[in-house]
Amino acid sequence: MLADELEAYLAHVTVERGLSKNTVAAYRRDLGRYETFLSGRGRPGLAEATRADVAAFAEAIGTGDDGGRALAPASASRTVVAVRGWHRFAVAEGWTRDDPSLDVKPRSVPKRLPKAISTDDVARILDQAGAGDGVGPVRDRALLELVYASGARISEAIGLDVDDVALAPGEQAVLLRGKGRKERVVPIGSYAADALDAYLVRARSALAQSGRGTAALFLNTRGSRLSRQSAWSILKVASERAGVSGVSPHTLRHSFATHLLSGGADVRVVQELLGHASVTTTQIYTAVTQDALREVYAATHPRAR
């Protein structure tokens, strides 16, 4: 019976909610583990499951006491969310009267503060990206200057077309398409505008000669749109040359937000620039700036210690 109920729910999330194959596969894996757990406790269907069962499962997947692999907090939280969705569906379908998962909370996931680097480190990375001869360094410098100037995700930057960039004086901006293809216009400074102008004049046409014609802004040596992996490699090589360790594809975006807030920008302005749906997501950066303020205070105030 549990197996039939699971298949019905998976069919629902596939057809009615339109979830991707990968997401449905993750649901099947997580809920299959819950199905096995309930069967082991003598529960033939969701109607027999109790709050104690759900709570015990939530605890067991974090320790591996159910016989499976112990899950990290984020994975355990995702699994509990899937379990709660299945129980809600059972109530909606009339299989059960009550939802035993209603007040079982996912394990809290510790917030990881975004990594930001100093403005000096950013400058060294940008300088190294543009070091060398040929069209490659011109493109690489333009790409990273744009990412830092706009706070764009790497995927947003490589998704740009030529017409998405405005470089006229007083109108320098870029049209970014974020999650859900939501568009936002972000202003860019003179450094990024100059780097982009140099790329468009000196490098893009040369790269485009190898391709079949594309509207993409950033091109690879074959004249096609630059891939995310190639963009990540550009950043990695530039940061290694600059002697800056621990740099990820999101580092320049995190640094963009942190530097703006440190300079006095309003958090809601930064939210708009980053394309966050909620200001709560942006506020994690305020913890980074508060840490910096505490360090400065401790080092400079005569009665801090």
What predicted TM-score, i.e. pTM, was given to this entire model?
A: 0.62
**Listed residue (105, 106, 98, 103) closest to 48, CA to CA:** 98
Residue 160 or residue 290, greater confidence = 160
C-alpha span between 64 and 240 (Å, rounded): 39
Is residue 289 over pLDDT 90? Answer: no
| Fold held by 2-92 | DNA polymerase; domain 1 (1.10.150)
| Phi, psi (rounded to 5 degrees) for 161 | -105, 165
Q: Look-up: residue for tokens 């039939």?
A: 4
Same CATH fold assignment for domains 2-92 and 119-298: no
In the chain, where the domains are located: 2-92, 119-298
Write down the pLDDT at residue 72.
86
CATH number 1.10.443.10 given to 119-298: yes
* Positions marked catalytic: 153, 179, 250, 253, 276, 285
Residues 6+ apart with CB under 8 A from 158: 143, 216, 218, 225, 226, 227, 228, 231
The token pair at 189 is: 């400074």
How many helices and strands, by DSSP H and E, does the chain display?
14, 3
Q: Say which amino acid occupies 158.
A: I
Residue 199 or residue 67, greater confidence = 199
Write down the pLDDT at residue 240.
96
pLDDT band of residue 292 (cuts 50, 70, 90) is low
pLDDT band of residue 19 (cuts 50, 70, 90) is confident
The token pair at 299 is: 């080092």
